[in-house]
Amino acid sequence: MGFSTDAIHAGQQPDPTTGAVITPIYQTSTYAQEELGKNKGFEYGRTHNLTRASLEANIAALEKGKYGIAFSSGVAATHSVLSLVKAGDHIVVSRNVYGGTYRLFELIMKEYGLRFTWTDTTDISNLEKSIEKDTRIVFIETPTNPMLNLTDIKAVTDLCRKNKLISVVDNTFMSPYFQNPLTLGADIVLHSSTKYLNGHSDVIGGMLVTNDEKIYSRLKYVQNAMGAIPSPFDCWLVLRSTKTLAVRMERHEKNAMQLAEFLLNSGLADKVIYPGLKNHPQHDLAKKQMRGFGGMITADLGDENKARKLLKNVKIFTLGESLGGVESLISHPSTMTHGSVPKAEKEKLGITEGLVRFSVGIEDIEDLIADIQNALG
Ligand code: P1T
């Protein structure tokens, strides 16, 4: 099936009781059992929920995977991946990732005996050098938040297979519409479904998809034991949203391309980073492993005051954390999403005080461009 057909139908049949075309919100914590040991396959809401199962099957289809597991947030999904390893094990991570991933790994999970090496995975030889005897997982984000660095997914997964490592790809920025890491050999694909998958800025959620039965069983067991499940209503909202994912992503990208070109040509920014621009250092890799360039742009305005002026004066862009919604958002990575990354590390990554991140929405592009022009006066 094509992407949009799967997006609208995968995981969903008319409700057997009423014929309702839209999967109901099974808002229940428990299920009636006929007699001891006899039930309809549903025992307790943390373990089984049909709205959630529909969403999981839907996203698994979009990511070309067999198994999906929905979580209560993106970071809950990331945390669960670490249940595949134990104290003393070593994990290699892309140097630039979402600040909350950095905080979870470096400031929390390190306390539990896990070891992390942060590596610039845009150069695969760095990754090769970071692998140790106890390495178990390679965790990459591509494109990265907020610098939009790309990592060659196929090169990473080949290396992981050779070294018997689990490869995990955070695909939040591209969404399955533009990139499918499992088809490039990844073991697990991760999403903050808060972002493009839901797309309407009204849900916090996460998602893992895999083709590996053993990995799936472990993650499912751990999720039931630890309890980081999303509510049936949140699952229903995301399930409704994926129906329009293709059309939303097309429009996000069209707007982002025009805005990136405007920022570049207007001279308003010192540096414009967008994988769709020919000046992006990995534009060729973007064309190879992605089917589009996405809706995120990062720009360095050169100094903090200029960034502050823009963030304060925009009227259509909203200053706020998050991304991937239909409405345009603007943020200041240094103090917002990457506030818990140490200053020296931010400097190395290029997350300066003048850096701003645009999540380009699906409004009229003329209004978005005018908003930025007006804000910078
Ligand atoms: O916020 P949550 O749903 O828990 O997702 C965490 C997460 C994971 N991976 C990536 C690439 C992300 O960008 C995020 C969350 N990011 C933001 C809130 C942000 O504004 O960048």
User: What six digits make up the tokens of 274?
Assistant: 């967008």
Ligand 1 in reach of 145 Cβ (< 6 A): yes
* Among the listed residues 181, 207, 182, the one whose alpha carbon sits nearest the alpha carbon of residue 194: 207
Q: Where are the alpha helices (DSSP H) in the chain?
A: 3-9, 50-62, 74-81, 99-102, 124-130, 153-162, 175-178, 213-226, 232-242, 245-266, 283-289, 304-313, 343-349, 365-375
For the packed helices 245-266 and 365-375, what is the interaxial angle rounded to 10 degrees? Answer: 40
**Separation CA 197–CA 60 (nearest Å):** 12
Distance 166 CA to ligand 1 centre (A): 21
> How many angstroms separate the alpha carbon of residue 94 from the centre of ligand 1?
15
Q: Report whether residue 128 contacts ligand 1, using a CB cutoff of 6 Å.
A: no
Mutual angle of helices 213-226 and 74-81, in 10-degree steps: 120
Q: What is the pLDDT of residue 12?
A: 96
Q: Which residues are catalytic?
A: 46, 98, 170, 195
* CATH fold label, 245-375: Aspartate Aminotransferase, domain 1 (3.90.1150)
Sequence spans of domains, the chain: 3-242, 245-375
- Does 324 sit in the ligand 1 pocket, CB within 6 Å? no
Measured distance CA(165)–CA(89) in Å, rounded: 11
Q: What is the dotted CATH code of the domain comprising 3-242?
A: 3.40.640.10
Cβ of 192 less than 6 Å from ligand 1 = yes
Q: Is 227 exposed, middle or buried (0-12, 13-18, 19+ CB in 10 A)?
A: exposed
Q: In the Cβ-directed half-sphere of 366, how many Cα atoms lie within 13 Å?
A: 0
Q: How many residues does the chain have?
A: 377
Side-chain-side CA neighbours of 349 within 13 Å: the count stands at: 31
Q: What is the pLDDT of residue 330?
A: 98
Mean pLDDT by 10 residues, the chain (377 residues): 96 94 97 95 96 98 98 98 98 97 97 98 97 98 98 98 98 98 98 98 98 98 98 98 98 98 97 98 98 98 96 98 98 96 94 98 98 95
Q: How high is the pLDDT of residue 24?
A: 97
| Residue nearest (by alpha carbon) to ligand 1 atom 13 | 98
Contacts of residue 297, Cβ cutoff 8 Å, sequence gap at least 6: 148, 256, 259, 260, 263, 272, 273, 274, 357, 358, 360
Contact 242, 7 (CB under 8 A): yes
- What 3-state DSSP class applies to 330? strand
Q: Whose CA is nearest to atom 20 of ligand 1?
A: 322
Q: Are 329 and 320 in contact (CB under 8 A)?
A: yes
What pLDDT was estimated at residue 361? 98
The answer to whether the CB of 194 is under 6 A from ligand 1 is yes
d(CA 203, CA 228) in angstroms, rounded, equals 15
Does ligand 1 have an atom closer than 6 angstroms to the CB of 322?
yes
CA-proximal residue: ligand 1, atom 2 (nearest): 74
Ligand 1: nearest atom to the Cα of 173: 11
- Ligand 1, atom nearest to 172 Cα: 11
Distance 40 CA to ligand 1 centre (A): 36
CA of 100 to the centre of ligand 1 (A): 7
**Residue-level pLDDT at 377:** 84
Which residue(s) pair with 90 in the sheet?
A: 115, 135
Cα-to-centroid distance, 206 and ligand 1 (Å):
9
204 lines ligand 1 (CB under 6 A): yes
Amino acid code (one letter) for 264: L
Q: Is the pTM of this model over 0.95?
A: yes
3-class DSSP state of 163: coil
Cβ of 234 closer than 6 Å to ligand 1, yes or no, is no
